[in-house]
Amino acid sequence: MEVYGEMHRYIPVLAKWSGFKKIGEKVVEHRARKYGVSKFGWRRFVNGFLDLLSITFVGKFSKRPMHFFGLWGTLFFLLGIGIAIYLIVSKFINTDFPITNRPGFYLALTSIIIGMQLFLAGFIGELISRNASGRNNYLIEEKTGL
């Protein structure tokens, strides 16, 4: 089980995902602070929240990255294509104004490029996750119930 950063807060979740069956709590005695001040503040709160997002993302999409990146990539690509079609149709209606002078052209171009990059990131992530060493064991356990 790999714990890095401030992910010690999520050890029970990581332990469950690693296959540990028996996870419990240990009752401890809390005492008031005698010296110094608390180190908990906004920075630690933000770091903890970002770690929570990381763990949630990895937990949901580590075995199927294309479901996340492919969805967003397709949405951005379709948005860009829709804007481009609108600009082409508007060009036939109003021929005096060049398409490249309109801000929508650059929005469409950027959306298409970001969509393609996200889709390809999902595709590459899918290739990596399929070739991971533990992936085959996971599929065998899932199909056989072992």
pTM above 0.85, yes or no: no
| Confidence band, pLDDT 50/70/90 cuts, at residue 106 | very high
Instruction: Assess whether 47 and 78 both reside in one domain.
Output: no
Which has the higher per-residue pLDDT, 146 or 16?
16
How many domains does the structure of the chain reveal? 2
pLDDT (tens digit per residue) in 14-46:
888 778 888 888 899 988 888 888 877 888 888
Average pLDDT, the chain: 84
Identify whether 26 is part of a domain: no
Q: Please count the other Cβ atoms lying within 10 Å of the Cβ belonging to residue 100.
A: 9
Residue-range definition of the domain harbouring residue 131: 63-146
pLDDT (tens digit per residue) in 120-143:
999 898 888 878 766 555 555 555
Instruction: Assess whether 57 and 95 both reside in one domain.
Output: no
Residues contacting residue 111 through CB under 8 Å, at least 6 positions apart: 76, 77, 79, 80, 83
Instruction: Assess whether 47 and 6 both reside in one domain.
Output: yes
